[in-house]
Copies of this chain bind each other. A is one copy, B any other.
Amino acid sequence: MDYIRDPAEIYKQSFATVMREANLSSLPNDMREVAVRLIHSCGMIDIVDDIAFSTGAVKAGTAALKNGAPIICDVEMVRHGIIKRHLMHDNELLCAIADEATRTLAGDMQNTRSAAAMDILKDHLGGAVVVIGNAPTALFRLLELIDDGAEQPALIIGMPVGFVGALESKEALIADNRGVPYIAVRGRRGGSAMASATLNALAGGLKGGL
C-alpha cells in the first residue's frame, strides 16, 4: 500500500500541516509549540481557540522540568502518553490512581479515585508539574488542596474531558488560578492525549516521535 513509513517524515509533514492550517498568531511564541503539539494530538485545528493559559506558563513549566520537578499524572493513560526520552532531568512520573491506598481513601472521602489520588500525592505537589487529562474531580480536588494550604505546583496542565465537571473544573482554574501557572483547554474537550502532548511540548518541543 502507498503510505508514508518514515517516522521523521510523518512528524515533519504533520507539524507542517498544523502550522499551515492553524492560526497561531494570537499566541505568544513559546505557546505556539504547545499549540502545535496539542493540535497534532487530537487532529483538530480549532482546539487552538480553546487554549487558555496564564502569562509565563510555558516558561514556568520548562524551568520546573529542567529543575528535575516530578510530574504528577491523574491517570495511567497520561503517564503512558509522556515521551520518556524527553525527560532529561530525572523527573519522576507519579500516578496514584491504581494504588490500593487510593481506593481506600476514595471510599473514606466519598470522592473519586482520581480525586483521592491527588491527596495521596499531596506532599509531592510543591514545585511539581501536575498533568490532568481525564478526571474533572482530580482538578477540583487539586484546587481544594491548594486552598487548604498544600504547597503550590509549578504548573497545572488542566485538560479533563467530558460532560460532568470538565468544563466547570477548568473554568474554576481559569477564573482563579491561586497564583499557579496553568495551561488548559476550555470546554468539554480535553483528554489524556492532549494533556500528555502539552507536557511533551514543554519537555521536548517539536522534536521526535512517540
A contact residues vs B (CB 8 Å cutoff): 1, 3-7, 10, 13-14, 17-18, 40-44, 75-77, 79-81, 109-115, 134-137, 140, 143-144, 161-166, 168-169, 172, 187-193, 196, 209-210
Contact = CB atoms under 8 A, between A and B. Distances in A.
Contacts of A196: 77
A15 B165 CA distance: 13
Given A5-B111, A80-B76, A140-B1, A13 B164 contact: yes
Main secondary structure of the interface of A (DSSP, over half): helix
State the 9 A-B residue pairs at the shortest beta-carbon distance, nearest first.
Answer: A43-B188, A76-B80, A5-B111, A17-B163, A14-B163, A43-B161, A3-B140, A43-B189, A13-B164
Contacts of A134: 210
A79 to B, nearest CB: 8
